[in-house]
Chains A and B, each alone.
Chain A
């Protein structure tokens, strides 16, 4: 099941610079997309989401962009901070599926001081 894909297993960024995490999906029935952050030995923590009727959602340092025609979304973190170092999961859900989230494989972000 590869409905949601994160093709970069890892990303390293300098503190203060922009981090861009990418996600692709195949199911055109997805109507909501989310980003979760996960530290080791903890559960995923909700970060930011976007409805399929929008193309951008911003919350502080975090912005999610959605390109429906390309079936692509990205998470921008600016400026990146060492505390942002974690695994970031892209997830998607489709209406009438009981809230089921389909996750990508995750991208491990390392922000170096």
Chain B
């Protein structure tokens, strides 16, 4: 069964450093998403991406964040200068239709020290 994959599973970085989280969505999906879950809190939407551009973003997704689909398979989330409060699980998701039935990856745990 096709699945969304994410690397790395755990990333530790120092405050102020740049990080890139990587995702390989399901191959025939066209819509891509990033969510995050701070420990003990709910899963929060960050951004949706379709046709090589952002279609929706949340207030969390400020100028420190960017997304890219550099080739036909990868979808990345970059945080330019990490803050302590960026520590969270980051989930990538993809869907075929852009509707709500999204498939999630296993997540990357980001720890900012």
Contact = CB atoms under 8 A, between A and B. Distances in A.
A106 B38 CA distance: 13
A103 B93 CA distance: 14
Given A44-B43, A104-B42, A99 B105 contact: no
Contacts of B41: 105
A50 B43 CA distance: 20
B42 A103 contact: yes
A113 interface: no
B55 A98 contact: yes
Identify which of A46, A101, A102 gathers the most chain B CB atoms within 10 Å of its CB: A101
Contacts, number: 68
B75 interface: no
A43 B105 contact: yes
A41 B37 CA distance: 12
Contacts of B107: 41-43
A101 B98 contact: no
Interface size class of B (residues with CB under 8 A): 20 to 34
B48 interface: yes
A91 interface: yes
A99 B42 contact: no
Contacts of B31: 99
A36 B104 CA distance: 10
A22 interface: no
B56 A44 contact: no
Interface in B2-54: 4, 6, 31, 33, 35, 41-45, 48, 50
Interface of B: 4, 6, 31, 33, 35, 41-45, 48, 50, 55-56, 58, 91, 93, 95, 98-107
Interface of A: 32, 34, 36, 41-46, 49, 89, 91, 93, 97-106
28 contacts: A32-B99, A32-B100, A43-B6, A43-B104, A43-B106, A45-B104, A46-B102, A46-B104, A49-B100, A89-B42, A93-B100, A97-B56, A98-B50, A98-B55, A98-B98, A99-B31, A99-B48, A100-B45, A100-B48, A100-B56, A101-B35, A101-B43, A101-B45, A101-B102, A103-B42, A103-B44, A104-B42, A105-B42
